[in-house]
Structure formats: structure tokens, C-alpha cells
A and B are shown apart, each in its own frame.
Chain A
Amino acid sequence: NAGVTQTPKFRILKIGQSMTLQCAQDMNHNYMYWYRQDPGMGLKLIYYSVGAGITDKGEVPNGYNVSRSTTEDFPLRLELAAPSQTSVYFCASSVGTSGLLGEQFFGPGTRLTVL
């Protein structure tokens, strides 16, 4: 089991460029999440998905898009990158059954700098 994997590990973007952060999990988890964490701050939820084909906004969705075409993959798209999107991005997954969420597993993160 690789768990939750994220690529790339690091990336520098210029203002206005776009990119996709990749996230995959091999645990057959139905729930997947994208968070961002600014230096010295807590985690903020960007988007989440409760299953293939279903996504929903978190608290900071502006400037991002997601899709979930398979159980395994949950890519995060940044359009028109801005310096405010400089952050560490974590993808996570968990099992959800009968209304309850289990432990959340995190990927190693993508460190993004927008200049």
C-alpha cells in the first residue's frame, strides 16, 4: 500500500500560470480532501469529495477546481496562479460509513510558490 501519494513535491509558478496537483490513494477510500496550509497556520479545506463524480467546496475554494472521475484520483487544478496561493497543499483520504468518518490519511504535500 502506497497510501496517499502527491505529485509534484515542489513547484514554482509564475503569476498567471496554471497547473494541476495530482493526488492518488490506493486504500479504496470514498472520501478525499484538499487542504492548504500557510506558514505557521492551520489547515484550510479547499475542496472535498465523497465519491467518484461528487465534489463540494470547502472554506477556501476560490481560484481552484477539482474533479473526481475515479475512486483513486482527486486532482486539484489552479487556474491563473496568484502569490496568495503560495502554500503547502495536502491531499487526504478517509473511509466514511453510516454517517461516520474514520481516520484521515494524508499525502506528503506539494510545496507551491507563486512568483
Chain B
Amino acid sequence: RKEVEQDPGPFNVPEGATVAFNCTYSNSASQSFFWYRQDCRKEPKLLMSVYSSGNEDGRFTAQLNRASQYISLLIRDSKLSDSATYLCVVTRYNFNKFYFGSGTKLNVKP
């Protein structure tokens, strides 16, 4: 079973829509969680870290559900500029690697 799994999409949504992605992780010892954004042919960039209490940054809200082993990303009032691939990333305590999902592609259309 993969360490991190994501729905590859694409999610095609109109401007102004609300869209949500989920990501599941297989190891209950996973410790830190992140959402990264990757634009076409560019490097991944941190969108937000995901804390146990959940966190919000403007139109973006991330939540962690340890019991069901998933994290979510909610984007409100989608903009054309939100079109990208969103990567779910997980780390484990005392493991030196980051585990990446293969990404969920979002297309926001006018």
C-alpha cells in the first residue's frame, strides 16, 4: 500500500467555486503533514502545514483527521490562479524522508 494516496483528478471547477481534496496516509505514526502546490514545469512550493487543530490561511483551510488517517484541503472562492497540482506530503517521527502523494490536479475555469 502506498504511504500517501491522493485522487489524481482533474477537478474542473468554475471560478468562485469551493473545492475540497482529501489525502489518506497509511502509517499511523505519521507526524507532520503539509500541502504543497506545484505549477506546471515548476518546483513544488509549500502552501500550508497542517496542524492537529486545523489551520486556515485566507481562502485555504487544511484539516487533519488522525483517527481516519486523512488530511483535507478546502479552497473557497476559487481563482483562475489556483489552477495547479496539489501535493499531499507526510513525514514520520525519526524518519528522514518526506512521503509525497502523486498530486491532485485542479483546473479553475472562467
Contact = CB atoms under 8 A, between A and B. Distances in A.
Interface of A: 31, 33, 41-43, 45, 48, 50, 56, 58, 88, 90, 94, 96, 99-109
Contacts of A94: 98
B72 interface: no
A104 B98 CA distance: 8
A106 B43 contact: yes
Contact of B98 (A33, A41, A50, A56): A33
Contact of B34 (A96, A103, A108): A103
A103 B46 contact: yes
B102 A42 contact: yes
Contacts of A105: 46
Q: Is the interface of A mostly helix, strand, loop or mixed?
A: strand
B101 A56 contact: no
Given A45-B97, A50-B96, A90 B43 contact: yes
Nearest to A91: B43
Interface of B: 31-32, 34, 41-46, 49, 87, 89, 91, 93-94, 96-98, 100-103
Contacts of B93: 99-100
Given A41-B102, A42-B102, A100-B32, A109 B43 contact: yes
B103 A48 contact: no
A43 B42 CA distance: 12
A45 to B, nearest CB: 6
A43 B97 contact: no
A108 B72 CA distance: 27
A30 to B, nearest CB: 10
